[in-house]
């Protein structure tokens, strides 16, 4: 299984916001710390806001913060939403794709089951689980903030 860059970056944004307890963070700050394209992260931040994971405040002192506590953000739930429409293989596309074997393929139900097991495993994992007991993650992100002049 592989998740898209969109999902990967969405998780990174949420991790940054969860570890930044001193107010708001901007998308630009996160993009600089992660060395990722701002425009791409801006689109993902907008999606996270629309989906209710993030609150966004505009203006001079604006930025983002989590809209939910980390324990309420299911990794599986987020990935189910962000990966919707991203098929594992051609025949899993909504239109069935263009594989000539699709009508009689025995692989499709197996892959569907495996994908569901992947999401089910992640459904019980939260953003809090990602961070709990992982002081190294918090320390690393705080160091990145200090080095970028965010703190």
CATH code of the domain containing 29:
1.10.10.10
Confidence of residue 73 (pLDDT cuts 50, 70, 90): very high
Encode pLDDT of 78-119 as tens digits: 999 999 877 777 777 777 677 888 788 888 889 889 989 999
Same domain for 44 and 64?
Answer: yes
Report if residue 78 sits inside a domain. no
Q: How many domains does the chain have?
A: 2
Average pLDDT, the chain: 88
Classify residue 3 as exposed, middle or buried by CB count within 10 Å of its CB (0-12, 13-18, 19+).
middle
Residues 88 and 1 sit within 8 Å (Cβ to Cβ): yes
Residue-range definition of the domain harbouring residue 100:
87-125
Report if residue 82 sits inside a domain. no
Which residue, among 8, 27, 14, 16, has the nearest Cα to 145 in the 3D structure?
16
Q: What is the DSSP letter of 66?
A: E
Same domain for 112 and 139?
Answer: no
- Extract the tokens encoding 39: 């425009």
H or E segment and range at residue 55: strand 54-57
Same domain for 3 and 63?
Answer: yes
Confidence of residue 51 (pLDDT cuts 50, 70, 90): very high
pLDDT at 135: 67
Same domain for 53 and 94?
Answer: no
Report if residue 80 sits inside a domain. no
Same domain for 137 and 120?
Answer: no
pLDDT at 87: 74
């Amino acid at each position: 299984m592989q998740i898209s860059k969109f999902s990967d970056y969405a998780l990174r944004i949420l991790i940054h916001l969860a570890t930044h307890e001193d107010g708001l963070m901007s998308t630009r700050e996160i993009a600089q710390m992660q060395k990722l394209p701002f425009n791409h992260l801006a689109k993902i931040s907008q999606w996270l806001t629309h989906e209710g994971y993030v609150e966004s405040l505009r203006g001079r002192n604006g930025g983002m913060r989590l809209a939910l506590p980390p324990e309420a953000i299911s990794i599986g739930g987020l990935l189910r939403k962000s990966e919707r429409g991203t098929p594992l293989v051609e025949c899993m596309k909504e239109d069935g794709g263009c594989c000539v074997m699709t009508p009689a393929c025995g692989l499709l139900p197996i892959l569907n089951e495996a994908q569901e097991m992947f999401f089910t495993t992640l459904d019980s994992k939260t953003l809090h689980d990602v961070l709990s007991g992982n002081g190294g993650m918090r320390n690393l992100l705080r160091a990145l903030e200090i080095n970028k002049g965010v703190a």
